Amino acid sequence: MTRPKAVVLLSGGLDSATVLAIAKAEGYEPYALSFRYGQRHVFELERAREVARSLGAGAHVVVDIDLRRFGGSALTADIDVPKDRSMDEMSHGIPITYVPARNTIFLSFALAWAETLGSSDIFVGVNALDYSGYPDCRPEYIAAFERMANLATRAGVEGTQHLKIHAPLITMTKAQIIRKGLELGVDYAITSSCYDPGTQGEPCGKCDSCQLRAKGFAEAGSADPLVHRFGSV
């Protein structure tokens, strides 16, 4: 039996690797979509390729877009990535690593690909708990995007399919995400979470993303295989 196709946004990080495994476990044939968007941590794209291969994606497309044209984020502009922030600092306000409209742009490309693939399912690894500061990671945002998407496309208008945005991690803690991924056989040694990695992809251990990852593995009661790969960070 042919599996229905799903477009999965894949950054090469821990969350999106888990989402790819979830889409597959739910019976979809995953089509992985990544972006080269002028990010500091472009190394993650190599990890995305490894993750897509390791989990058997039907295809993996990397789209080039240049968000640096607009500036405005520590992830794309010449602003330092904040390090050694406390969990309390992370949980308040929108961080400087927020990239304007990034998820909206990524989901829009996913929508274009889904429409040409004849797919009515898009998976995205947004999470409203750990990243409470990012406006475009909240359930009400995802619901509004889904509604807009169903008005935007030929298939939606013709009523031949209802497009669904799946955000399976949205209310999960990092520890729950890690446990789920381990259950599904995700190899976290090939994922990359750091906002500011070294030349070999070694995590800095100090940015928000590294800290949240370490805390997640600690709470899941599991060792991070990435730390094992690179030694203590």
- Which positions lie near a second copy, rule CB under 8 A? 61, 63-67, 69-72, 94, 98-105, 108-109, 111-113, 115-116, 135-136, 138, 140-141, 144-145, 147-149, 151-154, 156-158
Minimum distance of a second copy from residue 138's CB (angstroms): 7
Minimum distance of a second copy from residue 64's CB (angstroms): 7
Return the sign of the alpha-carbon dihedral for residues 179, 133, 12, 109: positive
For residues 164 and 226, give the distance between their C-alpha atoms in angstroms, rounded to a whole number: 33
Q: How far is CA 216 from the centre of its chain?
A: 16
Q: Which is nearer to a second copy, 108 or 173 (CB)?
A: 108
Contacts of 94 (CB under 8 A, 6+ apart): 133, 134, 135
Contacts of 2 (CB under 8 A, 6+ apart): 29
Q: Which is nearer to a second copy, 135 or 198 (CB)?
A: 135
Minimum distance of a second copy from residue 116's CB (angstroms): 4
For residues 208 and 84, give the distance between their C-alpha atoms in angstroms, rounded to a whole number: 7
Minimum distance of a second copy from residue 17's CB (angstroms): 22
Q: Which is nearer to a second copy, 153 or 222 (CB)?
A: 153
Tokens standing for 127? 């999470």
Q: Which is nearer to a second copy, 44 or 115 (CB)?
A: 115
